[in-house]
Amino acid sequence: MKSITALLLLIIILPVSAGCTVTHKYGPYYGKVIDTETKEPIEGAVVLVVFHTEEWGPAGSITRFADALETVTDRNGEFKIPNHRVTTFRPLQGWDRYGYFTIFKPEYGCYPWSYPWNKDVKPMFVPGGTLPADQFVTIELPRLKAKEDRLRNQSCFPVSVPDEKMKKLIELNNIERVNLGLQPTHIKEEKQ
Domain with 172 in it: what CATH number? 2.60.40.1120
Give the pLDDT score at 45: 98
Report yes or no: 169 and 157 within 8 Å, Cβ to Cβ: yes
Asked whether residue 29 is domain-assigned, the answer is yes
Structural domain including 167 reads 21-179
Looking at per-residue confidence, does 92 or 7 come out higher?
Answer: 92
DSSP labels, 144-175 = --SHHHHHHGGG-SPSS--GGG-HHHHHHHHH
Give the pLDDT score at 188: 55
The tally of domains found in the chain comes to: 1
Asked whether residue 99 is domain-assigned, the answer is yes
Asked whether residue 5 is domain-assigned, the answer is no
pTM, entire model = 0.83
Asked whether residue 13 is domain-assigned, the answer is no
Give, as one character, the DSSP assignment of residue 6.
H
Report yes or no: 176 and 45 within 8 Å, Cβ to Cβ: no
Confidence of residue 14 (pLDDT cuts 50, 70, 90): very low
Asked whether residue 115 is domain-assigned, the answer is yes
Range with lowest mean pLDDT among 60-74, 85-99, 124-138: 85-99
Asked whether residue 188 is domain-assigned, the answer is no
